[in-house]
Amino acid sequence: MSQSDDPVDDDGERHGAGPALTRRSALQVGAVLTTAPLTGQAVAAPRTYPLMARPAAPGQTMKLGATINGRQFEAEIDARTSLLDLLRERFGLTGAKKGCDHGQCGACTVHIDGRRVASCLTLAAKVDGRRVTTIEGLSDGKRLHPMQQAFIDHDALQCGYCTPGQIMAAVACVQEGHAGSRDQIREYMSGNICRCGAYVGIVAAIEEAAGKMGRRA
């Protein structure tokens, strides 16, 4: 089998025949290893990914129709699903990250009808009939959004884990008219945490992109 014929997993990783080792399965093994008692015994096989395996509870499903990144989607979902899990686990839109899952870090920020939300705290049911934009839908085809370009130009990231949420929040910050000064940018971006401390670059990138987007305050 040539490399191009190799199966691709749901993270977009390619693997050939034989036991598949993907980033997700490696992390699952790691999770088992780090929680296993120190008995010196072999570690159990990796668990299946719980959200993929868990069936919707009977009587707790609903039909959802939403426009996500300009495309109409319909799905039968567990009514208790968060928007973040729907995007990542059902639609494969893994740009929005699960940082804290408690509304405290901003890594999961997406837009609903142009307004920023923490998708980990938003029920998927809430987007029925609405328009959702994620980092995957921000660029105009092959041309990056001015905010994405500014983050690159100002080196506004290190590990990149917080970056999709930072960029989605930054676009909203400018569109809300909250990018009039560095202090105002810091205030209105305070819900987005960067563990790498790339804040100087982030603020500079937003300042520059605000000029190009035509709205500062």
User: Which residues contact ligand FES by CB under 6 A?
Assistant: 98-101, 103-108, 118, 120, 157-163, 194-196, 198
Q: Between residues 29 and 100, which has the closer beta carbon with respect to ligand FES?
A: 100
Q: Closest approach of Cβ 106 to ligand FES, in Å?
A: 5
Nearer to ligand FES, 7 or 160 (CB): 160
In the complex with ligand FES, which residue's Cβ is closer, 20 or 112? 112
Shortest Å distance, C-beta 112 to ligand FES: 14
**Spatial CA neighbour of 174 closest among 114, 95, 132:** 114
Of 65 and 92, nearer to ligand FES (C-beta) is: 92
Minimum CB–partner distance for residue 199 and ligand FES (Å):
9
- We find the least distance from the C-beta atom of residue 121 to ligand FES, in angstroms, to be 6
